[in-house]
Structure 1
Amino acid sequence: MRKSLFTLAAVATLAAGAVQAAPADYAIDPTHTFATFEISHFGASVNRGRFDKKEGSVQFDRAGKTGKVDITFDIASINTGTAAFDKHLQSADIFDVAKHPTAKFVSDKFHFDGDKVTAVDGKLTLLGKTQPVTLKAHQFACYNNPMLKREVCGGDFEATIDRTAFGLNYGVDWGFPKNVRLVVQVEAVKQ
């Protein structure tokens, strides 16, 4: 009897270890999530802008070290602080908002160092073209938000892209660089 209880306990322990944690669903917090771009302006200064409207979701499994991201940015919500520049960025010269109103980042590959996310590999769709992009994390954490009474996970991520790979060629002939720095600040609330 004692041997069979030991065997039963051992089997139960092995079975419990074989069960993996399920990924948790998180909703993007639009008040703490922004995508900002930076591009040199003739080497004299840096033009910056961000997209104010966005929505999306994250699936995250810390134990399994996996995750998924799906975020959509409303290109018409571009905000540089200068209305005339915003209008030009929305025009057919650059983002062509009439034909391509959104940009989208989708990922199902997270990289970890211990429990910390260090990078996210995904696909960025802009102007109807999709290219691979790796967002490297500069910081990442999960915490219990005292106001929301829920877990929130997020971080600051960065990548440099060749904008011409998406057909964003405006100003290249004048000396504007092809490379654009993306800085993504994201927080998502556990559902």
Structure 2
Amino acid sequence: MRTALFALAAASLFATAVQAAPASYAIDPTHTFATFEIDHMGTTTNRARFDKKSGSVEFDKAGKSGKVEVSLDMASVNSGTPAFNKHLQSAEIFDAEKFPTAKFVSDKFVFDGDKLKEVTGQLTIKGQTHPVTFKANKFNCYENPMLQKRETCGGDFEATIDRTQWGVDYGMAYGFPKQVRVVLQIEAVKQ
């Protein structure tokens, strides 16, 4: 009887541990976007996105923890204007030939109750890495009807960074601001 109770308790603990393990998700590139915007002389806002991106997510709902890794192909920057794209790729700004990839790697999910509040981590641009906190404007998990009801999680995240920390200082002499708003829209499918 004692052995049976021990086996039942061990099986219950194992089942709980398995349920609490983080799940792995692959970023869906068709529903994941990385964009940035910067003020243009107090008149308009310049915006661009990166068309090629990849990454993964680990998420533990019960443990309210996770990890995110997103890589951006810097040569895929797209402002909608070919000449501006070339300038963004140039050594004056992103130096995409020398530094072809930018990356965000999170180290912490911060919750307020059951609501994801922010994701903190390290952002690497032009070979330089600095901490960044992305505020979660939205976050949700759902059964994706187009993917045989596979769980999909994601949200809209934003941060304002000082671009000069990463050596992106073009236009400072002309009065362009240091602050750049970065928006990550991520959806990832459970594997």
User: Would you say same fold, with TM above 0.5?
Assistant: yes
Q: Please give the per-residue CA displacement for 1:13-59, whole angstroms capped at 9, x wherever unaligned.
A: 98469636111000000001011101000001000000010001000
Alignment correspondent of 1:111: 110
Q: Distance in 2 between matches of 1:173 and 1:90?
A: 20
Q: Distance in 2 between matches of 1:88 and 1:174?
A: 16
Q: Distance in 1 between matches of 2:29 and 2:8?
A: 47
1:168 alignment partner AA: V
Q: Distance in 2 between matches of 1:13 and 1:55?
A: 38
What is the deviation of 1:187? 0.2
Q: Distance in 2 between matches of 1:112 and 1:70?
A: 19
Q: Distance in 2 between matches of 1:26 and 1:115?
A: 20
* Stretches of structure 2 lacking an aligned partner (at least 5 in a row): none
Q: Distance in 2 between matches of 1:37 and 1:154?
A: 19
2:38 alignment partner AA: I
Q: Distance in 2 between matches of 1:18 and 1:54?
A: 35
What secondary structure sits across from 1:64 in the alignment? coil
Alignment correspondent of 1:52: 51
Alignment correspondent of 1:186: 186
What is the deviation of 1:9? 9.7
Q: Distance in 1 between matches of 2:86 and 2:135?
A: 30
* Stretches of structure 1 lacking an aligned partner (at least 5 in a row): none
Q: Please give the per-residue CA displacement for 1:94-135, whole angstroms capped at 9, x wherever unaligned.
A: 000110011000012001123332110000000000000000
1:78 alignment partner AA: V
Task: Work out whether residues 156 and 184 of structure 1, in 8 Å CA contact, stay in contact via their aligned partners in 2.
Answer: yes
Alignment correspondent of 1:89: 88
Alignment correspondent of 1:61: 60
What secondary structure sits across from 2:164 in the alignment? helix
Q: Distance in 2 between matches of 1:11 and 1:50?
A: 52
Q: Distance in 2 between matches of 1:70 and 1:129?
A: 16
1:117 alignment partner AA: L
Q: How does 1:22-171 map to 2 (within 5 A)?
A: 22-149=21-148, 150-171=150-171
- Aligned residues: CA RMSD: 2.1
75-84 vs 15-24, greater mean Cα deviation: 15-24
Q: Distance in 2 between matches of 1:162 and 1:79?
A: 21
1:165 alignment partner AA: Q
Q: TM-score, normalised by structure 2?
A: 0.92
